[in-house]
Amino acid sequence: MKDWAEITKTRRLDMLEPVVFPAIGKPTQNAFIERFNRTYRTEILDFYLFRTLNEAREITERWLNEYNSERPHEPLNNLTPEEYRMMAENTEISKSVWN
């Protein structure tokens, strides 16, 4: 990475020094992204055979929209992110749902 920064004339090389990447495929070190990667792999990459890069992007965009706004999430008490946001805005409803 440092070599790339020097070649591309990136400033502040000192900021690149402390970068430590987690080991690939180690869910205990980076659980959130590993969970997302597994879900994406099983629901998109294993399911579709893409003909073009644009097709992969379009399908991924639709899936991300559904994943981030329409799908219930267990950490959000099985609410969709949109429902959770609305609950958080209305504290009266929010307290009754969580109890």
Kindly state whether residues 63 and 99 are assigned to the same domain: yes
The structure tokens listed for 43 are 């629901």
Q: 35 vs 16, which has greater pLDDT? A: 35
Residue, of 19 and 13, whose pLDDT is higher: 19
42 and 57 belong to one structural domain: no
Number of domains in the chain: 2
Listing DSSP states for 10-21 in one string gives -S-GGGTTT--P
Binned at pLDDT 50, 70 and 90, residue 60 comes out as very high
pTM above 0.85, yes or no: no
Task: Indicate the helix (H) or strand (E) that contains 97.
Answer: helix 91-98
Domain housing 96: 53-99
Asked if 1 and 21 sit in the same domain, the reply is yes
pLDDT at 79 over 80: yes
* Per-residue model confidence as pLDDT tens digits over 5-18: 666 655 555 555 55
What are the tokens at 8? 């591309």
Q: Do both 62 and 98 map to the same domain?
A: yes
pLDDT at position 59 is 96
Q: How confident is the model at residue 23 (pLDDT cuts 50, 70, 90)?
A: low
Rounded CA separation 90/4 (Å): 49
Q: What mean pLDDT, rounded, does the chain reach?
A: 78
Quote the CA–CA distance of 55 and 11 in Å, as a whole number: 36
* In the block, residue with structure tokens 């099985």: 78
Listed residue (62, 32, 59) closest to 45, CA to CA: 59
Asked if 41 contacts 48 with a C-beta cutoff of 8 angstroms, the reply is: no
Same domain as 60, residue 24: no
Could you tell me if 1 and 28 lie in one domain? yes
In this prediction, what percent of the chain has a pLDDT beyond 70?
Answer: 62
